[in-house]
Amino acid sequence: MTVTNILLSGVVGSTAYGLARPGSDVDRLGLFAAPTEDLHGLHGPKESHVSTAPDRTLHEAAKWCRLALGGNPTVMELVWLPDELYEVRTPLGDELISIRMSFLSAPRIRAAYLGYATQQFRKLQNRSEGPLTAEVRRRTAKHARHLKRLCTQGYELYATGRLTIGVDDPEDYHRFGEQVAAAPGTALPLLRRFEEAFEETRSVLPERPDETVADAWLRRVRAQFWANAPQAATS
């Protein structure tokens, strides 16, 4: 997969969280700028490029902004990575990192992170209804780790306005995953505890994101990648 105009890209997923084990995939996430001229045609450019081996997802700048403004936990990671995990950084990418707080809002972060965690719990419940093969157990443990991570990271972001990508105690997450793989229902108390924590905590985040900041950044991206089209011939 060849994508030009990459503004920001880095290693995310289990490697970034500190949860990777031997054989774990290395996931990469980034965003790129479509040539501004291409946005004016009948059919716009492709908004996302996803590849495997290596695993990489790249979103067009406008799509990334829309997802981030909605509180999407996956895209949010990109602007909170430790410096050593970035593989591509441009001035516009650094600028995006500097305005990351403008994408946040309390209701959207709460809904997105708890929503994703609830999805993980439903996957755990569905897997508990079939035979517990080694593959099912492995996937169940993985979903349990993600459930705990989403709850922990989402609550930190909601309560403090900070997002720590690496988890404090990776082995504790792995133990939790194995425990839930053996008895999926044991994940429910953790989910309920974080639902209560969100309910009882007054967030430091505003009620709405500051879309004007994101819009201004995106317009600077468009200006930088504008190429004047050839002038039409006149008779």
Q: Is residue 82 domain-shared with residue 124, that is, in the same domain?
A: no
17-27, pLDDT tens digit by residue? 999 988 888 99
Supply the DSSP symbol for 90: -
Give every residue of the chain whose pLDDT is below 50, as ranges: 228-235
Q: Is residue 10 domain-shared with residue 92, that is, in the same domain?
A: yes
Burial class (CB in 10 A: 0-12, 13-18, 19+), 124: buried
Q: Is residue 37 domain-shared with residue 55, that is, in the same domain?
A: yes
Q: Is residue 10 domain-shared with residue 97, that is, in the same domain?
A: yes
Cα–Cα distance for residue pair 7/36, rounded to 1 Å: 14
**Residue 52 CA: distances (Å) to CA of 23, 55, 146:** 15, 4, 20
90-116, pLDDT tens digit by residue? 999 999 999 999 999 999 999 999 999
CATH number at residue 57: 3.30.460
Instruction: Tell me the pTM.
Output: 0.90
In the structure encoding, which two tokens stand for residue 85, read together? 């995990």
The confidence score (pLDDT) of residue 127 equals 65
In the structure encoding, which two tokens stand for residue 100, read together? 């990351």
Q: Is residue 73 domain-shared with residue 118, that is, in the same domain?
A: no
Structural domain contains residue 1: no
The confidence score (pLDDT) of residue 24 equals 84
Structural domain contains residue 232: no
The confidence score (pLDDT) of residue 191 equals 96
Structural domain contains residue 188: yes
What region, left, alpha or beta, does residue 137 occupy, with left being phi > 0 and alpha being psi -120 to 50 degrees? Answer: alpha
Q: Is residue 31 domain-shared with residue 93, that is, in the same domain?
A: yes
Backbone angles phi, psi at 104, to 5 degrees: -95, 145
Q: Is residue 64 domain-shared with residue 138, that is, in the same domain?
A: no
Q: Is residue 167 domain-shared with residue 52, that is, in the same domain?
A: no
Structural domain contains residue 63: yes
Structural domain contains residue 231: no
Q: Is residue 86 domain-shared with residue 114, that is, in the same domain?
A: no
Q: Is residue 55 domain-shared with residue 18, that is, in the same domain?
A: yes
Burial class (CB in 10 A: 0-12, 13-18, 19+), 200: exposed
Under 8 Å between Cβ of 51 and 1: yes
Pure H helices in the chain: 13-17, 61-69, 73-76, 91-98, 106-127, 134-160, 170-182, 188-200, 211-224
What total of structural domains would you count in the chain? 2
Q: Is residue 52 domain-shared with residue 137, that is, in the same domain?
A: no
Structural domain contains residue 230: no
Find the domain containing 93 and state its range.
Answer: 6-103+209-224
Structural domain contains residue 117: yes
Structural domain contains residue 234: no
The confidence score (pLDDT) of residue 27 equals 95
Q: Is residue 24 domain-shared with residue 138, that is, in the same domain?
A: no
Burial class (CB in 10 A: 0-12, 13-18, 19+), 29: buried
